[in-house]
Structure 1
């Protein structure tokens, strides 16, 4: 027995030693791709030496003799820190993910191939001005210079992920950067999904009830719409849940309601305590590790610029110079229209046009699939745009037999000059110059918030489709593509895009709210991204006569929910403090305790409080009870609380209180009954998850920011090292926005919000601040992988200074790039 024990002990010891050795070997190879920020490199493609100073937060400050050399160094720095992320973004735009991930990503590749984003990006290269083409060429040389160093010095394949997947890295091309902008356009628009959803709802409900569940922004003048059945009477209504975008984290298509968002506001010098204009901006995108954003400072010939870049794109997309600041929010411009195209029964290669039958434009495309046979698809285009298969976006559910669906979209341009606009924006010195640079912006459409030393402005940039006033669906639902008045009539001139320069109030703000109240077709959009956050912002702005950098930061980090403050008194009007205290341990007593907490709550969605969790769970259960009997499984598509729907119901606007009654039951339920039952539902579920004591529940336990690695974050064991999870405040409708996941099993997970925050003060530009939600490096073994994440969670910032000496004073490394002999 003793002998057996000795040998078992030796065996276990040997296994432990071998495991440790394996870990050390793995660490050695994986850490080889950690860049040395103090190394010097002799590289071809440079005209003169370049210095890359990485400050204490690993933000590169790039100094070169020419702009081309600076863009070269930016490409080099991007590749050092985010090479895997860049190559994955490029593969997504090209429709080549399946070469790495097999059949898992086949549907994603098929969709991006049908959009033909990369071909359009290649064609758009010729539309850029000479300076932009030089910038793109130089940036590509910089990326490729780092790839050459990786291969030359065996630097761990460039990133740890390449050990698990393919290590083939194609040279970076100028068109790749343009393709990433088109990929961003896909991530930032949700108009297509809105059209499908409205058509589905229109088939199930009368027009009055469609207005309840898909309400227009209050005050919006809306022309009468036909119901979808009148346009296509052969389409049968269906209550099946929508099958919209892929839930794969690699998919660039946003889930319903998860398209781009953002906040931006500005104060003119006369509304600033220090006498200089102020600007705050926090763009909202889906969280990921690393963040999509990368902080950088470029010393161009026109002056220094600093802010947030996206790896793969050679431009500071949001940021400032010494004299100008620029920020972006999603404009919610209606830039997409779906068309039902009739296929010729006698010839399936033709479709109907206003002048007769016409052949589809077709082209074969081969998708290479890892560990499977290649898949060949036929790309088809009509005059209106690419034909999309019914298997995507749930299009089959709204497509009549003998028809297909095509898409018109401003991003599908082969003369896309958005990259040139971004380069010119960095070189602009004044608000007027920046507005002029925005003229070349095509897609994604954005609200451009500007501030210089004299004033402020908001300009909608991006191509705005011109629709005929006789358009049958007003662009809100799919319409017959063979009717001329349904087709786009070109684009509006840039001067028709909404613009506001130096308003009398001295303040400008946008939270994706309605920006104009113009009649169709000049309306910009019927669907806006916010009706709630703007109310809180207006209240905060009115509290002060003048503002400071600190008051703008305070607004950016505000977590008080206007929605909670306005809805809770409505839905609980007949529930507060009713009846005598119920016995402990009963559902009635639990409800009374929850209502007592909510009654004393100020609506702050603080991570340490139980009230936000009770409120969110209550409204989620309430909305499901209100719509489930009318919509059936289609109710699953409404994953987030729609505040205007609940307000319409509980104010009984246009008879909307009819939603409170359960159609299938003999009893006529009142809205109070429904609210009470929904609260009981919510409390039961919360008790099962968090225990029986509501006072001990914490919103932050449920509302963790899920900044997950899109690939390794799903691997058991590795996920604990690469995913960044943090308890956070805020919710879908607070200024410090943290959009909840909305689906089980963790519906309150924070998955979409401000990956970048910046506040610029032109009374003292170098006192400006910024932050991103993870860290600068995409390497999980780097100390810069998540070092900024905790600052971001706590609402802290880092200095945003253009002072070169300040950057050098605490540099973590200085890289010298010199031209090769």
Structure 2
């Protein structure tokens, strides 16, 4: 679920719209913006808002960023629901439909598979159960937000362009819809089964020494950061790998066997993860004693952007930052006393429980208390233009039965997101914390997607901790799927707040997380798996150690760092290959050597040579892992290795070069052949241009598309322009096609006017609005925009529909 939903939405919407065009129902290109209530180009206005307890105001600045003022939290959230729906109604509706398994009813059969998965996993039922358990203040926040959204829905004319095209009217917003949106982010950050599936297949099909070698979770950069806490790397199992390579070579004569082993790496294996950068610098390292937080969250980019900028003031609470449309709270930001940012923890919040089905009664499975019948429910999925589809969802005492088996056996999904005890809106309490100590306590108690938390407070202090429900496992470590039927394995709730790790006021004067493994100390419980390569964290740490004193501008520039030292090992290897006698006799490889020698070590748009080096790395990885993992692919034909770090074992093999471990023909022949293939692929993509004239900007191009943007006559209107972008999948400035920084925030609590915040696209989801793309240029160019809303260019007065008795 980490990357597929947006792609499914885009293809389905495009197919639907194009089909409509082919039948004569062409999408009318919108003209100038009309002037319904609350459009971005309106003058001052007033609206009556049902449920409001007192007067409230919204002031928009020149970027369409709302500053909300109200007497109470609930009134501020009513106003937030109203203005967010005004700007992002279609996005909000798609988010709740995607999470709740209700896309097919507006988009058709192409989304039936995605809907079926959500229904089989019981996500809508989980949202309702979570709602029933929330504390009163969180439920009140959801109710108030829904009232604001629905007030806008009742008056929204015309409806957003996409909704007009699809020909439906959104249903009223329910409090549980906000929880569906929370669960959608849960799935993005911690809802993938693929890691455990991969580890299970490898464990069942490969020698233990090979599994330990492939799954070592400490790369050289992370090892340098961990110091003495880093575990010794496992030995390279040359004999076992040699046997696997020989087996693959024997199978190469059989086309079907060769097909099983080829392409075992997923397209995203070893590439940029969904994640983030975050760091906080203490006052001892800044110009005037202020602590400064920096955070840029890396997600799949789209139009509109995943985040919505907002400021809320009620009583003595003042919060500014980023909101997830559909959810009534600031996810990252500042309250003028404490600033907070998040990065993905890659927390292990999910287990696949191997089910022991009764050999004679297939409707029963074994549990610690004996055989038990599967719970069965019928889910009805409405499909646009077709008959409804009935889906049978089975569940167990541990959770729903997964939609596909693992190694031929059914598995149940034990996932924290489906546990009503493990999801809440605890981050709401961040609006009133006054120190990093109070913030750590709030974050450790809050439940939701598991994240690293970076904190800075007004007194110059900084901290790192984690948030989210982290399972307390019994009898196993959660690395691979196993049976829980005998009761020896399972979950005993979640780690208590006191058991969660934290670093407060470190001697270094700063804390950094870029999705790498963090130092936890001896005996600490494991938090996650499949951590990102530590190069980004190492580079950030290296820059911060050298920088003193620093200010907001310095940290913003660090967010734009495009140094690409991660590729140095592949550059050096390429030069050795290209300096050999065999390479000197090939003119194309002489050209390749000039390109590699010309690389400046960076991923700037103008950098040359990196395109070839990056392709060389991928060819090496594809061929090496195909030779090593043929047996695993044969056991599980759908296996695609999706681990975040493939480079640690790959580089070990390339450095030590044990005989017989190369895919074919010995190391020299293999490396030369891999370089020739990389050269051919780069030339095929970039035509007749000499390799030393192919700039990185021809490869690194940002693509930020609207779901309807594939329609030819709408693409230019709805999509952001595709253009070169500095950065790479391993750079601090992470850029990998449509994956990148969904925002960049730099702020010192108490010094918010000096803060920075920008994001792709703009505030509005309406292409006719001036705020549809007015932050895009600053985001691409790396130009800071102010964190706080500027002078008001339009205001809205919100009044109760009737006087409230106090």
Name the structure 2 match of 1:13.
none
User: What whole-Å deviation, never above 9, does each CA across 1:671-715 have from its counterpart, x for those lacking one?
Assistant: x432322222121122222123123312222221121112x0232
Task: Show the counterpart of 2:51.
Answer: 45
For the pair 1:177 / 2:183, whether they are aligned, the reply is no
Residue 298, structure 1, aligned to residue 300, structure 2: no
Whether the aligned pair in 1 keeps the contact of 2:265 and 2:622 (CA below 8 Å) is no
Task: Tell me if structure 1 keeps the 8 A contact 2:70–2:313.
Answer: yes
1:589 correspondence with 2:591: no
SS of alignment partner, residue 484 of structure 1 = coil
Q: What SS is found at the alignment partner of 1:172?
A: coil
Give the whole-Å Cα distance in 2 for the aligned partners of 1:783 and 1:760: 27
Deviation at 1:579, TM superposition (A): 5.0
| TM-aligned CA distance change 1:192 to 1:257, over 3 Å | farther
Q: Which among 754, 771, 783 is matched to residue 741 of structure 2?
A: 754
Asked if the contact 2:453/2:464 (under 8 Å) is kept, the reply is: yes
Q: What is aligned with 1:485? A: 488
Q: How does 1:511-530 map to 2 (within 5 A)?
A: 511-517=514-520, 522-530=525-533
Corresponding residue for 1:575?
577
Q: What runs of 5+ residues in structure 2 fail to find an aligned partner?
A: 1-24, 220-229, 241-256
CA distance in 1, matches of 2:258, 2:768: 50
Shift of 1:591: 2.1
Choose from 420, 426, 429 the match for 1:424: 429
| 1:29-178 equivalence runs, <5 A | 34-38=39-43, 39-150=45-156, 155-157=157-159, 159-178=160-179
Q: Does 1:188 align with 2:189?
A: yes
2:799 is paired with a residue whose SS is strand
Q: Tell which has more relative contact order, 1 or 2 (C-alpha 8 A, sep 6+).
A: 2
How far apart, in 2, do the equivalents of 1:450 and 1:480 lie?
Answer: 40
Using the alignment, how far apart are the partners of 2:413 and 2:266 within structure 1? 19
Provide Cα deviations, 1:489-544, integer angstroms capped at 9, x if missing partner: 32221211111111111110000010135578812124212322122112112212
Q: Corresponding residue for 2:795?
A: 814
Structure 1 position 399 matched with structure 2 position 397: no
In the TM superposition, residue 191 of structure 1 has moved relative to its aligned partner by 5.2
Distance, in Å, in 1 between the alignment partners of 2:643 and 2:129 is 39
**Could you tell me which residue of structure 2 aligns to residue 685 of structure 1?**
681
Deviation for aligned residue 1:202? 3.6
**Unaligned segments of structure 1, at least 5 residues:** 1-21, 228-236, 248-253, 663-667, 740-749
Deviation readout 1:338-394 (Å, 9 max, x if unpaired): 11101112322211112321122222211111122212122222122111122xxxx
- The alpha-carbon distance between structure 1 residues 31 and 116, as it changes in their structure 2 partners (threshold 3 A), is farther
Structure-to-structure mapping, 1:613-628, within 5 angstroms: 613-628=611-626
The reply to whether residue 704 of structure 1 matches residue 729 of structure 2 is: no
**Is 1:434 aligned to 2:421, yes or no?**
no
Asked if 1 retains the 8 angstrom alpha-carbon contact of 2:348 and 2:527, the reply is yes
Contact 2:456–2:748, Cα closer than 8 Å, also in 1? no
Alpha-carbon distance between aligned partners in 2 of 1:246 and 1:90, rounded to the nearest angstrom: 28
- The correspondence of residues 629-648 of structure 1 with structure 2, limited to 5 A, is 629-632=627-630, 637=641, 642-648=646-652
Contact 1:768/1:800 (8 A) holds in 2:
yes
In 2, are the aligned partners of 1:193 and 1:244 still within 8 Å (CA)? no
Of 535, 559, 570, the residue aligned with 2:538 is 535
Distance 2:565 2:339 in 1: 29
Cα 1:256/1:701, change in 2 over 3 Å: closer
Between 1:31-40 and 1:310-319, the stretch displaced more is: 31-40
Partner of 2:251: none
Alpha-carbon distance in structure 1 between the residues aligned to 2:445 and 2:94: 27
Paired residue for 2:724?
727
Please give the secondary structure, in 2, of the residue aligned with 1:418: coil
Taking the aligned partners of 2:83 and 2:723, their CA distance within structure 1 comes to: 28
Alignment partner, residue 447 of structure 1: 452
- 8 Å Cα contact 1:221-1:519 kept in structure 2: no
Contact 2:599 2:607 in 1 (8 A): no
Structure 1-normalised TM-score?
0.84
TM-aligned CA distance change 1:450 to 1:183, over 3 Å:
same
* C-alpha RMSD of matched pairs (Å): 3.0
